Amino acid sequence: MEVHCTVSNCQWWDNNYCAAESILITTDTVGAELPESIDYQQTQSIVNMYGDTPADSCMATCCKTFTERG
Ligand code: SF4
């Protein structure tokens, strides 16, 4: 799957594509409660803690794999 992304200051960003092997998307609410270091390796742990986390719209989701370049 291609992941298109415009977040150009992310370390995984490569010319409007995401070059990460895996990414973790969750809701803004859950994302804000978790430390910056949490990523796709902890997906099951997040599900164990929160259960499913449905979102009302695309504006309520975030990429937890984002890491600022540099
Ligand atoms: S990790 Fe997330 S923010 Fe970074 S390039 Fe990939 S999709 Fe965009």
33 within 8 A of 13, measured Cβ to Cβ? no
Per-residue pLDDT of the chain (70 residues; tens, 9 = 90+): 999 999 999 999 999 999 999 999 999 999 999 999 999 999 999 999 999 999 999 999 999 999 999 9
Rounded CA gap, 69 and 67, in Å? 6
Best of 3, 4, 26, 28 for a ligand 1 pocket test (most atoms within 8 Å of beta carbon)? 3
| Domain spans in the chain, listed from the N-terminal domain onward | 13-63
Rounded CA gap, 3 and 19, in Å? 8
